[in-house]
Amino acid sequence: MQTTNSHTLFNQAKQYIPGGVNSPVRAFRAVGGNPLFIKSAKGAYLYDEDGNSYIELINSWGPMVLGHAHELIENAVKEAVSSSLSFGAPTRKEVEMAELIVSMVPSVEKVRMVNSGTEACMSAIRLARGYTGREKIIKFEGCYHGHGDSFLIAAGSGAITMGVPDSPGVTKGVANDTLTAPYNDLEAVQTLIEANPKNIAAIIIEPVAGNMGLVLPKNGFLEVLRDLCTQHGILLIFDEVMTGFRLAKGGVQERFDIMPDLTTLGKIIGGGMPVGAYGGKKEIMDFVSPAGPVYQAGTLSGNPIAMSAGLAMLRHLNTQPEVYSQLESIGGKLVAGFKENLKKLGLNYTINHIGSMFSIFFTDQEVYDFETAKSSDTVLFGKYFQAMLKRGVYLAPSQYESLFLSTALTDEHIEKIVHANYESLEEILVK
Ligand code: PMP
């Protein structure tokens, strides 16, 4: 595989951009080698600057649920561009977008658009604090809610991949206001609540966690969390930036029928454009400025191009329920193929899976929280990543990420990926 152009670009990039990338995991630090510079993408494929093609299993970290450059979204963006790029004034599309989100996400009665998942989570936390008059929040170890200061404590995703789950630059004051518990550990949550009576504003959680690899909530975990929040006047925030519109039309809350007070959204909601949103119960959302006192704003928030892309995506998902059965089927077939491979090779690595998200952990332990996720052999993961890449399959370049599937994957692609998985496992173990 010739990757000279990517190497040249990376060397050039390192002179002008910290680490050569605009988001850390992209640098391939955890898996070795140089990152590929991507020139274009279509359907199930990515094309790099050297003309190599790869079957996509990340899909821009989630948004491309219909595959790359889907014509519905492309056309919507092209049409919107002809009416100018941004007005900084209200538009019809924002109303349509808000109405659609409210109709699709069960617990959301009002919603505010922002430009990223980070912004959505930062704003939701501020709102929770403003609404409850309390200061502390609880987050779970290994969950990632963007790079807002409050969340860079025991953070997953790129933060753990780069070895900085607790980032320098976050003040002690902020750190003290972020309490952490292991994922799936109700006792730990209860202890934190008891130790901080009437001072916890919110519990924020990825209801299916994708940022320490994929980790599922145990039976009853989210239900009890919901009850604890109600009992103690704490707002429950579901971060559905990854899972929203992916694991069901209405996200995990619809799939498991558990209603949070606030929800954060991103990725698919923008169809590939930079978009996030937070929403929830009317009485809470009406605390946001200018309806209420909690300030939050954005020059480009709700801009017409992003709204057009997102609307095209969400309208399609809303009217074509077969997308979800397709995603379930693709995920099911791939994971069955991978499990069969492990069996044939006599390996007992752990695969966590739900719908169109899954992760292989290079450990024989059950993975249900950050500690168990960290039992995975990350050196072996790096070798596996490179072996798959060599065979034309593009994975997330870190053990601590989920894979995201798209409806562009055909049975033929699935067969190729499963075959690449077999050969890659064999290569990294035998040699
Ligand atoms: N929350 C979750 C669950 C995420 O996975 C991410 C990003 N991967 C974010 C928040 C932050 O979103 P963004 O990168 O758009 O700021």
Mean pLDDT of the chain: 96
Q: pLDDT value at position 8?
A: 98
The whole-number average pLDDT for the span 236-265 is 98
Q: Does residue 131 have an active-site annotation?
A: no
pLDDT at 370 over 70: yes
d(CA 264, CA 171): 24
Residue 82: Cβ-neighbour burial (10 angstroms; 0-12, 13-18, 19+)? exposed
3-state SS string for 142-174: CCCCCCCHHHCCCCCCHHHHCCCCCCCCCCHHH
Residue entry with tokens 């057009």: 308
3-state secondary structure of 16: helix
**What tokens were used for 204?**
């924020």
3-state secondary structure of 304: helix
Amino acid residing at 44 = A
What lines the ligand 1 site, CB under 6 Å? 61, 116-118, 121, 144-146, 157, 206, 210-211, 239, 241-242, 266, 276
Helix (H) or strand (E) holding 73: helix 71-81
Q: pLDDT value at position 428?
A: 95
127 HSE (CA, 13 A, CB side): 33
Q: Catalytic residue among 45, 54, 131, 144, which?
A: 144
What would the pLDDT profile of 200-223 be if each residue is shown by its tens digit? Answer: 999 999 999 999 999 999 999 999
Amino acid residing at 203 = I
Q: Give the torsion through C-alpha atoms of 377, 378, 381, 385, to 10 deg.
A: -170
Q: pLDDT value at position 416?
A: 98
217 Cα: distance to centroid of ligand 1 (angstroms): 19
What would the pLDDT profile of 407-427 be if each residue is shown by its tens digit? Answer: 999 999 999 999 999 999 999
What residues contact 125, with CB distance under 8 A and at least 6 apart?
Answer: 137, 148, 150, 201, 202, 204, 237
| Contact (CB, 8 A) for 279 and 108 | yes
**What tokens were used for 430?**
């035998």
Residue 157 CA, closest ligand 1 atom number: 8
What would the pLDDT profile of 91-116 be if each residue is shown by its tens digit? Answer: 999 999 999 999 999 999 999 999 99
Q: pLDDT value at position 429?
A: 87
- From 179, 118, 173, select the one nearest 146 (Cα to Cα): 118
Residue entry with tokens 């980790």: 215
Distance of CA 88 to the CA centre of its chain: 28
Q: What is the DSSP string of 22-44?
A: SSGGGG-TTT-SPPPPEEEEEBT
**What tokens were used for 275?**
């978009």
Closest-CA residue, ligand 1 atom 5, reads 242
415 Cα: distance to centroid of ligand 1 (angstroms): 30
Return the best residue to mutate from 123, 211, 278 for the ligand 1 pocket (most ligand atoms within 8 A of CB): 211
The whole-number average pLDDT for the span 67-73 is 97
118 Cα: distance to centroid of ligand 1 (angstroms): 6
Return the best residue to mutate from 23, 113, 118, 275 for the ligand 1 pocket (most ligand atoms within 8 A of CB): 118
423 Cα: distance to centroid of ligand 1 (angstroms): 32
Instruction: Give the chain's domains with CATH numbers.
Output: 4-69+321-430 (3.90.1150.10), 71-319 (3.40.640.10)
Residue entry with tokens 């200018």: 290
Q: pLDDT value at position 430?
A: 66
d(CA 166, CA 151): 9
| Contact (CB, 8 A) for 341 and 353 | no
Helix (H) or strand (E) holding 317: helix 304-319
4 Cα: distance to centroid of ligand 1 (angstroms): 31
d(CA 195, CA 71): 53
28 Cα: distance to centroid of ligand 1 (angstroms): 19
Q: What is the DSSP string of 189-239?
A: HHHHHHHSTT-EEEEEE-SSB-BTB-BPPPTTHHHHHHHHHHHHTPEEEEE
Q: Catalytic residue among 267, 324, 368, 384, which?
A: 267
Q: pLDDT value at position 431?
A: 52
Residue 116 CA, closest ligand 1 atom number: 15
pTM: 0.97
Closest-CA residue, ligand 1 atom 1, reads 145
What would the pLDDT profile of 28-42 be if each residue is shown by its tens digit? Answer: 999 999 999 999 999
pLDDT at 157 over 90: no
Biggest distance spanned by C-alpha atoms of the chain? 63
Q: Does residue 144 have an active-site annotation?
A: yes
